[in-house]
Amino acid sequence: MRIPVHQLPHGLGLDLPAYATAHAAGMDLRAAIPEGETWELAPGRRRLVPTGLVMAIPPGFEGQVRPRSGLALKHGVTVLNAPGTIDADYRGEVQVLLVNHGEEPFLLRRGERIAQLLVAPVAAWIWVPEPSVELLGDTDRGGGGYGSTGR
């Protein structure tokens, strides 16, 4: 499938999202911070990081912005609202909300791979109000909530 994408001036020269391996599910998103600058993400802090990309996700799909496992493992840096959603009708710049759960400051540089982007189908649903809970049907679990299925 094809997705129209535009690189904003501060994103020019950066690679477009791409699969790192033949069977990868996600494509890497890169930080479009100014050339020569280093942004510090201190422990416990969060920061919105631009990608320099505006895209047109097709109707019936969404973009999912997810953490990169290596950043999480090695530095404690992850996507705060994971997965972030890019709706099909959004036409603003894709930005990534990073948080540093690690113990050391994390330094961001231009072109750094900061997140993964997955494009996935979504279904549109319509709620059908029912006059009583009994009409929803019975299941083995019933109303059992948190911890009800054991450890």
CA angle 101, 103, 108 (to 5 degrees): 70
Q: How far from 121 is each of 9, 58, 81, 111, 118, CA to CA, in Å?
A: 30, 9, 20, 28, 10
Residue 87, annotated ligand binder? yes
- From first CA to last CA, the distance across the chain in angstroms is 42
Residue 86, annotated ligand binder? yes
Residue 85, annotated ligand binder? yes
Other Cβ atoms closer than 10 A to 133: 9
Residue 148, annotated ligand binder? no
Residue 68, annotated ligand binder? yes
Of 108, 2, 120, nearest to 51 by C-alpha is 108
Residue 69, annotated ligand binder? yes
Of 10, 3, 14, nearest to 114 by C-alpha is 14
Residue 28, annotated ligand binder? no
The annotated binding site is made up of 68-70, 81, 85-87
The annotated binding site for substrate is made up of 68-70, 81, 85-87
